[in-house]
A and B are shown apart, each in its own frame.
Chain A
Amino acid sequence: MSDVISLNLQVWKQSSIDDPGSFEFYSVKDISIHISFLEMLDVVNENLQKEGKDPIAFDSDCREGICGTCGFVIDGVAHGPLAKTTVCQLHMRHFEDGQTLVIEPFRATPFKVVKDLVVDRGSFDIIIQAGGYVTVSTGNAPDANNILIAKDNAEDAFDSAACIGCGACVASCPNASAALFTSAKISHLSHLPQGKIEDDQRVKGMVEAMDDEGFGNCSNHAECEAVCPKGISISNIALMRRNLIKTIL
């Protein structure tokens, strides 16, 4: 088996927020199967720059799958075909020689395309600002294990806290709903005694902010859970709904 493959890429190119954008075709050769998808784009960009052409703009930071900066849609699936993987950890060995790939930015009205595959996910920050925190008095750090937390609760909280806020859930949702992201942040804090006391105002504020930002309604397609690089469960969405019902009752 050869260690290099050739690919046909159809990549979304958009020069600015106001540009309508269109697909551009790239034929790439001699791509090592040992490099990641982003490294493959680096190779493509290097060649483009040598030719004096505009490189493909995309976001990335840690390239270890833990920062949530990278992400786009490959052939209709956010973060590509491999489950629980960000595009920076997706390696070229998962693709076949001669394959044609359509690469699009995360699409949702609140996520404006800044350039090519780069989207502005500032709406997530606004949702967090509406209650995704614990109000504590500043001062010295409290003693460790001052507040005892059952192991199960700590595990559940950590499962939800694993959300890296990449936005793949919104991108994959047929309704462009941000329910998985918002609910992961709500559950994370709701499972801990420090966060529990502010459950009511948190769920009200964050759901309102999510709606105000223009995200869609969750219709339980669970496509978000399937594409989530951290495998965040839709059980978080159920918890968000329970918490909201509690505020009404």
Chain B
Amino acid sequence: MNQINFLKISSVLKKIIIAVTGLSLFLFLIIHLLGNITLFTGNPPGKDFNQYAHFLESFGILFTIAEMGLLGFFVLHLSTALYSNFINTSARNTKYAVSSYAGGKSKKTYGSQTMVITGVVLLVFLIWHVLQFRLGIHYDTTYLDFNDGQPIRDLYKNVTQEFTNIWVVAGYSVAMTMLSLHLGHGFWSSFQSLGIHGRNFTRITYSISYLLGTIISIGFLLIPIYIYSIN
């Protein structure tokens, strides 16, 4: 009985969990994208990026806690969404023969109906992405004017190695398309899930949602394309 009660989270609370974790992950993406600008700067190429990566790692235990927190948010976001989806599927045992879009005030889009699919593809991408870079081969490099000339991780080498492979660039293009669809529904929807609704507020967040998703995805995608084109 206790276990059943534990699993029985109200539908509204589930959406709140998905919204809070989703918005936090959205914020992380923005910071991640801003940090990655260092890939385009620095002389020699990669110096700024390696120094930025070293700066993050220098936080030691705090950095690990942040990473674990991020992982926790991912797990919570994904598991709550999958659990919701399971209930949603069983809420309509007999499917419609014809399904359509009512138009007008409807916000039902291709993106909104494929959140689980795009989400799971992004999970697979994320595991691949972490294995490629965070847990990738550890190269060392030294800069005379940085860290007293002591060696630091040459993460830029991993980046250039991976992104000179056209298939990796293609894989990232697919993943970023999924991200734009996912954020397109996710951004405005998070506010609605938290009960933040206003005639103008909702109109604005909804209209910029897909735009934001596309801008962020293109921003990330510029990296593999840029690295591929200069090598």
Contacts and interface: CB of A to CB of B under 8 A. Distances in A.
A223 B11 contact: no
A222 B91 contact: no
Contacts of B32: none
B102 A226 contact: yes
Interface in A214-249: 214-223, 225-227, 231, 233-235, 237-245, 248
A66 interface: no
A108 interface: yes
Interface in A75-108: 75-78, 83, 102, 104, 107-108
Contacts of A45: none
Contacts of A216: 11, 84, 87-88, 91-92
Contact of A218 (B11, B92, B106, B202): B11
Interface stretch (A54-62, A125-133, A159-167, A168-176): A168-176
B99 interface: yes
A219 B88 CA distance: 10
Interface string A200-226: 000000011011001111111111011
B107 interface: yes
A107 B94 contact: yes
Interface in B73-132: 84, 87-88, 90-108, 112-113, 115
The interface centre, meaning the residue of A73, A177, A210, A218 with most chain B CB atoms within 10 A of its CB, is A218
A95 to B, nearest CB: 15
Chain A interface, DSSP helix/strand/loop, else mixed? mixed
A248 B87 CA distance: 23
A223 B108 contact: yes
Contacts of B112: 219-221
A138 B50 CA distance: 75
B105 to A, nearest CB: 4
Nearest to A213: B91
Contacts of B100: 75-77
Contacts of A239: 195, 197
Contact of A220 (B13, B16, B189): B189
Nearest to A179: B11
A26 interface: no
A38 B22 CA distance: 45
A220 B98 contact: no
B116 to A, nearest CB: 10
B105 A225 contact: yes
Nearest to A233: B105
A76 B88 contact: no
B88 A241 contact: no
A241 B92 contact: no
A118 to B, nearest CB: 15
Given A217-B11, A244-B12, A225 B90 contact: no
A104 B106 contact: no
Nearest to A244: B12
A110 interface: yes
A102 B99 CA distance: 10
6 contacts: A102-B98, A104-B97, A175-B91, A177-B11, A223-B108, A245-B195
